[in-house]
A and B are shown apart, each in its own frame.
Chain A
Amino acid sequence: MSEEKSSFNDYFLGRQKADTTGYYTTPAIRKAYFIGAYAKAVINSSFHSKVSRENTTFKNWLSNQIINYQNLDRIFEIAFRYEQKLKLNIRNQSEVRKLAHETPVDKAAGISSAKISFAFVAGFDDYQKYSKAEQAKSAEKEKEND
């Protein structure tokens, strides 16, 4: 079973491969990408939270945030707080959180909010695609088992 599980990291690697400008090689961009994906993961699964169903607090909170380099850590922290509070089950044992957390960042990154938010939204959107693809896969599997 476990070898069939695909990793979200592949999505990032795919983007990095397709990119010719060197945009995705910057660690800060990678971080923004994974935090974006993590934010989407938290939004998705808080909809099915056992503690409070169809919870949208994090989604509303994120709507009022400026997405820039300084704010990334805060977005990550709040997302993590909601993950714990709402006892969320994120795919692959919170793989995206680990990816976001493990990406190192150099301190002197003077990178514009436009670039950061582009990566953030890219990760956000890719996670949606990823989780849809995974859902389709598991639905197929259930059919086969029937």
Chain B
Amino acid sequence: MFYYKGLEYIILPSLIIDDDESLRKILKRLAKANALTKGKPEKLQALRKEEKKILENIEKLRKQIKSMKKPDQEMERKVQKQEQEYFNKVHTIDQEDAGHITEFKNQADSLGDLKHEVTIDFIFTKIDRKNLSFEVKGSIEDVVPSRLSLVVNTMRDKKIDENIGLKARVEGKTYLQDFFNRDELYFVKSKTQQHNGNRILQERLYLSRLLLTDTAISLENLMKRFEFNREYDYAHKKRINNGVRDWINYPSTYMQQQETVLSFFQTLNKIKE
């Protein structure tokens, strides 16, 4: 059983060739990977706390420098040191805080040399611990591990971010959430995500399935998503400022992201007519 940011899922490996020995090894490795992921949310939280602390420190030092009359080299150096630390911290967080597809890849990677002998099914479930029953919410089947690496590498090459959230944007990055997780973001904005768990899961599954299996997206569908993102923000309000649409003021920002996504899907051969 794996947990990841509100997703609960089971990984079922199926061997291409029957071999009990390998199967046992695979299950062992998956159990190990599972144990490793357990502490992840806390670790991430701790990292974020540290990040915040450093930021506060920098602020404090800056204030002190401002209040002083003479420029102090010692203080400047301190600030620089903290800034460097902050930069490193952000970098580690970036690496730790992966989106769910990267997470799937990491788990497949834990199989090591055996990963070429399996295809993987992901079964998404909801466990009711009171009744000791569980419900299957959806699944992605027959994922080839090399496919996972291909998708993750292509995303990295094209600077595409698959994380979902309302954090600050990094310039030059393209966010898949702008086009594929709009319902989820809307629920978060309107604070109704508790009641819409199913829709959120379905939306995430749609994207994962699209990227990991043989399904393709039509140009029409993709362009509809582009259009929606151009016109509306996460709260479904029009992207308009002083009576002028954002895309009229900044056409290249939108165009560049759209083209990145388009070429991403073309590289993966995911566009159908």
Of B230, B244, B252, which one neighbours A117 at CB under 8 angstroms?
A: B230
Q: B105 an interface residue at 8 Å Cβ cutoff?
A: no
Contact digits for A63-74, partner B, Cβ 8 Å, 1 yes 0 no: 100000000000
From known contacts A40-B251, A125-B255, A128-B251, infer whether A63 and B227 are also in contact, taking CB-CB under 8 Å.
no
Residues from chain B with a CB closer than 8 A to the CB of A90 are none
Q: B55 an interface residue at 8 Å Cβ cutoff?
A: no
Of A63, A113, A122, A129, which one neighbours B243 at CB under 8 angstroms?
A: A63
Are B255 and A21 in touch, CB under 8 angstroms?
no
Chain A CB within 10 A, most for which of B224, B230, B251, B252: B251
CA distance A43 to B254 in the complex (A): 18
Q: A8 an interface residue at 8 Å Cβ cutoff?
A: no
Chain A CB within 10 A, most for which of B220, B247, B266: B247
Are A60 and B243 in touch, CB under 8 angstroms?
yes
For the residues of A in contact with B, the DSSP-based class is helix
Chain A residue at minimal CB-CB distance from B220: A112
Of A22, A40, A117, A122, which one neighbours B227 at CB under 8 angstroms?
A: A117
Q: A124 an interface residue at 8 Å Cβ cutoff?
A: yes
Residues from chain A with a CB closer than 8 A to the CB of B245 are 62-63
Are A62 and B227 in touch, CB under 8 angstroms?
no
Q: A56 an interface residue at 8 Å Cβ cutoff?
A: yes
**Chain B nearest Cβ from A37, distance in angstroms:** 11
Residues from chain B with a CB closer than 8 A to the CB of A117 are 227, 230
**B223-262, CB < 8 A from A:** 223-224, 226-227, 230, 240, 243-245, 247-248, 251-252, 254-255, 258
Residues from chain A with a CB closer than 8 A to the CB of B227 are 113-114, 117-118
CA distance A128 to B254 in the complex (A): 13
Q: A79 an interface residue at 8 Å Cβ cutoff?
A: no
CA distance A128 to B249 in the complex (A): 11
Are A118 and B223 in touch, CB under 8 angstroms?
yes
Are A118 and B226 in touch, CB under 8 angstroms?
yes
Are A23 and B251 in touch, CB under 8 angstroms?
no
Chain B residue at minimal CB-CB distance from A63: B245
**A32-82, CB < 8 A from B:** 40, 43, 56, 59-60, 62-63
| A side interface size, CB within 8 A | 23
**A103-131, CB < 8 A from B:** 112-115, 117-118, 121-122, 124-125, 128-129
Are A56 and B244 in touch, CB under 8 angstroms?
yes
Chain A residue at minimal CB-CB distance from B273: A21
CA distance A59 to B240 in the complex (A): 12
Of A56, A112, A124, which one neighbours B223 at CB under 8 angstroms?
A: A112
Q: A20 an interface residue at 8 Å Cβ cutoff?
A: yes
CA distance A113 to B266 in the complex (A): 22
CA distance A112 to B243 in the complex (A): 25
Chain B residue at minimal CB-CB distance from A111: B220
Of B224, B226, B251, B271, which one neighbours A125 at CB under 8 angstroms?
A: B251
Residues of B within 8 A of A (CB): 219-220, 223-224, 226-227, 230, 240, 243-245, 247-248, 251-252, 254-255, 258, 266, 271, 273
List 14 extra interface pairs beyond A113-B227, A118-B227, CB under 8 A: A21-B271, A60-B244, A63-B240, A63-B244, A63-B248, A112-B223, A114-B226, A115-B220, A121-B255, A124-B248, A124-B251, A125-B252, A128-B252, A129-B252
Q: What are 24 residue pairs bridging A and B, where the CB atoms are less than 8 Å apart in the complex?
A: A21-B219, A21-B273, A23-B219, A59-B244, A60-B243, A62-B245, A63-B240, A63-B245, A63-B248, A112-B223, A114-B220, A114-B223, A114-B224, A114-B226, A114-B227, A115-B219, A115-B220, A118-B227, A118-B258, A121-B251, A121-B255, A122-B255, A124-B248, A128-B252
8 shortest interchain CB distances as A-B pairs: A125-B251, A114-B223, A125-B255, A114-B224, A114-B227, A63-B245, A118-B223, A60-B243
